[in-house]
Amino acid sequence: MPGQPRPHLAVALDGAGWHPAAWREPDARAGELFTARYWTDLVREAERGLLDFATIEDSLGPQSTREDGWDDRTDRVRGRLDAVLVASRVAPRTTHIGLVPTAVVTHTEPFHISKAIATLDYVSTGRAGWQARVSGRRSEADHFGRREIPEFRLADSARPGFRDLVGDLLDEAADYVEVVRRLWDSWEDGAEIRDAATGRFIDRDKLHYIDFRGQWFSVKGPSITPRPPQGQPLVTALAHGHLAYRLAARAADVVFVTPRDTEQVRKIEQQVRAQQAEAGRAEEPLHIFGDLVVFLDDTDTAAARRKARLDEVSGEEYTSDAPVFAGTPAQLADQLLAWTELGLSGFRLRPGAIPHDLTGITGGLVPELHRRGAFRREYEAGTLRGLLGLQRPANRYAA
């Protein structure tokens, strides 16, 4: 239909699905969670659905129901493969879909992440992204022993010092992303000459020191990896409130948000845009994606019953930081298109159980959007930035 909004779609992959009992479903492949084939199959299914990109979850500690530390539970999936390495393994076996692994900025070094994501961009021929994540858990800081993070809970958010601690972690993350971006630009396009006749492999004048000095990092550069094919791979961040919106507005190309209803969609969109303007990026593109956990079936009753059965197996009702949707693909399409009209440019869907809800997205939601003229029928660009309508940026160091 003319004028119909066309939202972008991404999928968030985590274990056997986002419901903690999903691994116990008969069609789950729990025995393959730590294999390359499993992750390749999931991303290829997402690609069959023409999705823009797939994110892969990661952290610096085992999954836990506690806000700080391991909960010692044995009835839920525990353990992960490294998301960046998984994405690099999957990349040669896919052709169009973007690959956006999570990498934690707290306790790690921007130099390492810059070359890892740049390498992924080469391996995928321009389809790499990165979800930057902050770690505020004392138990994860204990893995490294380089800094002290006090124990705190979200219930303590009004406690003196809480906002300062969170603000420092997010400001550190913003500097981290800035260092990574500068390192991606530290080689100009065409810096590699590869001229055997003259014996010149690189043009040294096109390699640059970044000389970044800040509160948390002092990095000279240049990178060891030439400028990525996209120039700047996609940077994403999940944000739940004002401080995190500020980080995303300063540093990200895509921000994932978690509104519960239309009023929150309007409010969050306004807050993010205000932070974007304050950061001096009002004229730059910044996609706002809504996150939803989805349980999809032929009827809304069947979807609700399946979630209720998983809740019973788990021993408690499943809730999430993001809204939980249980219904039909058509009902989900109604909600996504209504929220697109309010300012969201896309959605990152978290399958409640895999494969059921992943194929519910690719084989149910996507055809429904096709019927409404609201989603692509083929990939329209060869890079992830291209899929999202983002230009390849100029190199900041080029004359």
List per-residue pLDDT tens for the chain, 399 residues long.
Answer: 556 679 999 999 999 999 999 999 999 999 999 999 999 999 999 999 999 999 999 999 888 888 777 888 899 999 999 999 999 999 999 999 999 999 999 999 999 999 999 999 999 999 999 999 999 888 888 888 888 887 766 666 667 777 788 889 999 999 999 999 999 999 999 999 999 999 999 999 999 999 999 999 999 999 999 999 999 999 999 999 889 999 999 999 999 999 999 999 999 999 999 999 999 999 999 999 999 999 999 999 999 999 999 999 999 999 999 999 999 999 999 999 999 999 999 999 999 999 999 999 999 999 999 999 999 999 999 999 999 999 999 999 997
The strand pair at 98-104 and 53-56 is best described as parallel
The CA–CA distances, whole Å, from 152 to 25, 111, 155, 165, 300 equal 35, 29, 8, 10, 39
pLDDT at 157: 67
**Sign for the pseudo-dihedral over CA of 43, 44, 48, 50:** positive
Rounded distance, CA 289 to CA 343, Å? 9
CB 36 within 8 A of CB 89: yes
CB 339 within 8 A of CB 331: no
Among 348, 366, 347, 351, residue whose Cα is nearest residue 307: 351
Q: Which stretch of DSSP H or E encloses residue 237?
A: strand 234-238
Rounded distance, CA 246 to CA 267, Å? 15
**pLDDT tens by residue, 262-302:** 999 999 999 999 999 999 999 999 999 999 999 999 999 99
Number of neighbours of residue 13 by Cβ within 10 angstroms: 24
**pLDDT tens by residue, 150-168:** 776 666 666 777 778 888 9
Among 323, 270, 327, residue whose Cα is nearest residue 297: 327
Residue 324 backbone phi and psi in degrees, to 5:
-105, 120
pLDDT at 55: 98
Q: Write down the H helix ranges in the chain.
A: 36-48, 83-90, 110-123, 138-141, 162-185, 242-251, 262-278, 300-314, 329-341, 356-360, 366-371, 384-387
Residue 244 backbone phi and psi in degrees, to 5:
-75, -30
Q: Which domains does the chain have, with CATH numbers?
A: 8-152+231-387 (3.20.20.30)
